[in-house]
Structures are given as structure tokens and as C-alpha cells.
A and B are shown apart, each in its own frame.
Chain A
Amino acid sequence: MKLDRLALAETPGKALTGITGFDDITAGGLPRGRTTLLLGGPGSGKTIFAAQFLVHGAQHGNEPGIFVAFEESPKQIAANMAGFGWKLAQLQRRKLFFLDARPTPELIQSGNFDLSGMLAALGAKAKQMGARRIVFDALDIVLALLPDAATKRREVYRLHEWLLDHELTGLITAKNGGDEATSPALQQFDFMQFMVDCAVILNHRVDQGVSQRNLRVQKYRGSSFNEDESPFVIGSGGFDVAIARTLGRADAAVTLERISSGVSRLDTMLGGGYYRGASILITGFPGTAKTTLSGAFAEAACKRGERTMFVSFDSDGSEVMRNLTSVGIHLSRFEKLGLLRMVSARVITGSAETLLVRIKSLAREHQARCLVIDPVSTLSKAGNELTAHGVAERLIDWCKADGITLVCTSLLDETSSQPNGGTPLQISTMADTWIHLNYLVQAGERNRGMSIIKSRGTAHSNQVRELILSKSGVTIADIYTAGGEVLMGTLRWEKESAQRVADEVAEVAGKLRRVSLDAEEAVLEVRVKSLQTELMAKQVEKSLLDRTTQSREGELTRGRSRMRELRGADAAVPEVK
């Protein structure tokens, strides 16, 4: 916020109001030396706006101011404004003057009158204190005393002329029924809206029981301005007009620094962790460990010594810490050290805008570098559906501008037909990293699956992983995928162990087969050897046979020749072979 103020230098021809956001909408504040009309219903914050405009001028712009109170006594106003930390009493001595111009109840009226008396008195006072700003609060009160429309008109013109003559930056507040053009109260002042150089309308609506405040600049002569309704809240420092970034504002510095998500395996999947200053969205159905994952992030941040704030909407901070202890995430010690601030936001009611402003101011107070909002989808609960998206946008924008790393969880509607579709806030498009958690129900078991849907600027795993919570912490396991089946939990374990057994059996069978083959081989080898031996024996036998046959034949031949010799026969017998 301080940065915003510094960035907004005084614009020529404009008077800064010091109201967060309003000076952005009007590109510098109210028209200097001219008149602005501030319209709004009862309780819409007109007096606070006006007082803040004067206080800022007196404190920072060295522009003393006069507050003309037609409705409340200066004492009441000072008491009401004390809550905003404005040092009215201190300023009141020289730089701020309250004029009690309430028509007293005992005032008796007889005939026509005009405001020249007051203007003369104010002129003298303004000159004496060198006033540059003036507020006429609840001008409608005094106009109501005037008898007819013509007289009212005349007095308003008189006032306008007087303001121009004295070159005072004037702010006139008046009641009306808000933005509805049909309101008779508005018609009463429509000529004022044409007369003044700038008109601002404050609206206070109640949507489904939730108060929603809006501010709209209706006209601003000679200047461009944001014409849309901008939600605002009245916070601890006065007005806070919510405004999305204006074009031309410098982008927040980006960094390549990575910080741990608190789950080492997730860091690996993200290629090193979250980017510092990124916005991380964790979506999932109830019970998918969104809080656990964000708790792990908070713990990791605290371990690095970074100031962290954990905003819990669903359960009290102490409950969250106790529950996280069961999964090995110990946050209470960091809370005791003052490093971690747990915010139990269940009790904070009101519009999404109010929630954002509260979160912002708490985070600033704590100087948080890391912020967890669990779940951010609370912003869009009843009565806030329309505004929540804008609020979520500004939440991310603000975190980026302040360099805060934001982890927010978002509940998905369990009955939603598209669990992977957008979140109720459509925050998923704005988040830098989107992690989705879901259940896989198989064989009577629910297991948590985790996948990174997107992560801008980082290479990230496309794998679905199983998220396992145990006493020792959060771990991530590969899931079992085979034959188009995705298995987790016990099934995965079963499948894995079945696989192991099958592997072992196969191994043993292989070994067995080998042994039997070895045996067969051995048998064959033995058989080969015995056959060879047999063969040799046969060969020996055969050669022996040959030899005996030869020798016998030789004997026979020899015998015959001997016989022949003995018989003295001639050799007419054929040759022996």
C-alpha cells in the first residue's frame, strides 16, 4: 500500500484523496479547485470518504481543510473517525476546522432565507487558516429547510459559485437512494449532478444477506476515469476501494527462484519446486489432502525461516495444526516462534471484498512472504458469487505485486460433472501452478491421486502419482499402470507383490529347467561315451575277425598247396585270391 501511495504523485489539477484505489480510478483524485458531489444512501460511507479526503490533505498535502457538518456534531464525527487512526484532535488545531452547522431543533423559521451568512463566515475562516479543501457533509439536511425547488437550486448555485470564487476543492455529500435513477431523492439533486465537475455515487446493497459496497464515478469533467462500479470496504484505515490493476502500472518483478512445496518428490515433478511469488492452486474434493499439501508448504516455508500466514476457513487454526501433526507436519512450534500466523477465518463474515481486505491487512501486519488460503472457494459462498471472481483476481494480483507466494486450495463440487473442469472462481486460469487431487475408488478402497494440471514456465511431470499420507509425512508414489489399468493403494501393492511372486516362480522354474537339461545333457554325454567305447570294441572285434579270417584262409591255401605238393598235382588250379 505504501508503494502505491508513493507511486501516485500529485497530478496537476487534482487533489489526492488518500483513499486506496480511488486515486487510481480517478487518475489522481478529485478535481482541484472544483466541486465534487458525493451521493449515497444512509450508511454508505459518505462522511468517512469526506473526512478521509480532508485528513489526507491536512496530513500529507499541506492543504488545510474545513468540514461543515450539517448532520452530525463535530464531536460525534471525531469520535467516529478515531477508529481509523486519524489524529483529528491534533490536526484540528491548525489544519482542520469543524463547523457545526446543524440546524438546531429550536430553530424557528419565518419566511425565506439563504446561505450567504454561512458562506461569509466560511470565507473568513478559510482565509484565516489558508484552507484549500472544504467538505459540506449532508447538504440535503439544510436544503430540506428551503421551501421550494427553485430556492434550493438557487442556494446550490450560490454555494457552487462561492466554491469557485474561493478556489477551494469542494466536496458536497448528499443522501440518495444509490444508483437507481428512479429514486425521488435523486431527482431532487439531479441538477446538482449536472452542475458539479465530478460526481461519485456510493452504493450499499445486500445480496442474499451479505452487504456489498460499491463506488462509481459517474462523471468527471476533463479527465478520464474508470467508469465501472468498484467494490469497496470500510476497513481499519478508512476507505479501501478495490481496483484491478490499472493499465500502465509496472509489472511486479519476477524471479527464477524456486521454493520447496514441502514434498520433495513433488518438487522433482515440478522441476525444482514452485516459483517464488507464484500462485499455486490445489483443487480437489473434500478429503483429498488439500490442507495437508498446503500445510506441507507452510512447514517448508517456516523451516526456511520465512514469515508465513495460514488462513483457514474450514476449521480453526489450532485444529488444522493438530490434524497436520498426524501426518508429520508440525506447525505449532513455528507459531510459537512467531514465524507462522494461523488465521481462523471461519468467524469472519461478510462480502468477499471484506475478506480480502482483512486477509491483506493481516498479511501486511505479519509481513508474510508465503500465504496459504484454505480454501479460497469460501470467497464465493452465498451472496458473493458475482464478486468472488474479481476478488480472487485481485488476491492473486496483490500477492504478485507484493512478491508473496500464494498457495490456495479450492474445493470442487463433488456432484460436479466435470471434476477436471474449472473451479467455481475460475481462478484456475489465473493460477501459475494447478495441482489436482482426486480419489480413485477401486476394490472398496479410496486412494489419493495427484497430478499437475499445469505449471507455467516449468517443465513438469505428466504422470499421475499416488499421494500417501503417513505418520512420517507426505510422500508420493508411482502408480501401477499395466494393460490400461491404473492401480493405487492396496491394489497397487497386491498387484506389485503378485508380480514379485510370479517373477520368483518363473525364476525358479527356469533354474529347474536348466538343471534337468544339464542332467539330460550329462546322460547323453555318457551315452555318447559308452557308444564310442562300444564302437571301438566293435572295430577291434571286426579287425580281429578280419585277421583271423585271413590267417585261416592263408592256412587253407597253404594247406591245399601242401596237399597238392604232396599229391604232386600241377598248378592248374586258379590263383588264390
Chain B
Amino acid sequence: MSRQRVFRFRLYVADQTQNSLQAEANLTAFCREYLPDGHHIELVDVLREPRRALDDGIFMTPTLLVLAPAPIRKIVGTLSQTLTILQTLKLETQAA
């Protein structure tokens, strides 16, 4: 049923730091596995666009903003725990 929904993500990273690269890789892998056709990822480098980070209240990097479906959620970290992300996106049923 949720297959029809499009997941919109905004990932804030800080340049090419280890944490940021890991988060990017983890998110891409996650989407490929669980959301193969319904996702959109926007990448924001806080070093290049600090104003956007300020406006969105991003103080830790990497931070993932889940823009859609509502409500907006914020996940901080390298996104290494897949289960946490599934729970956040209410996709626990697919974890098994």
C-alpha cells in the first residue's frame, strides 16, 4: 500500500567528512532496498549553504530530514541503524 507513496528526503552533510559520506552511502543503500521506486533525495552541503542549515535548524551533521510523507521528521547520525530508520518511516513490517 505504501508502495505508491513517494518519500522525499533532504540530507544535510558537511563536505566529504567520514560521517557525511557514510550517511550518504547508508541512505542510498536503504532507499535501494526498501524504497526502490518511491524516493527522492536532496543533498545539502552545510559548508556551501549554511543559510539553509540555519533556517532548517540543522546543528549536527549528518542530519536527514524526512519531508514527505508528513510529518516532517529529523534523523541525526550516519543512518547506520536500518531498524531505526524503518521505525521512523513506519515501515517496520518490511524489516522482517
Contacts and interface: CB of A to CB of B under 8 A. Distances in A.
Contacts of B28: none
A110 B85 contact: yes
Interface string B55-96: 001111111000000000111111111001100100000000
Contact of A120 (B50, B77, B78): B50
Contacts of A108: 73-76, 84, 88
A113 B81 CA distance: 13
A418 interface: no
Interface in A85-136: 99-101, 104, 106-118, 120-125
Contacts, number: 102
Contacts of B54: 99, 121, 124-125
Contact of A110 (B17, B46, B79): B79
Interface in A176-224: none
A538 to B, nearest CB: 149
A117 B76 CA distance: 11
Nearest to A123: B50
Interface residues of B, number: 33
Contacts of B73: 106, 108
Contact of A124 (B19, B23, B50, B63): B50
Q: Main SS of the interface on chain B?
A: mixed
B59 A110 contact: no
Nearest to B72: A106
A121 B61 CA distance: 11
A120 B61 CA distance: 10
B88 to A, nearest CB: 5
A121 B22 contact: no
A120 B52 CA distance: 11
Nearest to B52: A121
20 contacts: A101-B57, A107-B74, A108-B75, A109-B76, A110-B80, A111-B26, A113-B19, A113-B60, A116-B47, A116-B61, A117-B12, A117-B46, A117-B53, A117-B58, A117-B61, A118-B58, A120-B53, A121-B59, A124-B51, A125-B50
Interface of B: 12, 14-15, 17, 19, 22-23, 26, 46-47, 50-51, 53-54, 57-63, 73-81, 84-85, 88
Interface of A: 99-101, 104, 106-118, 120-125, 142, 145
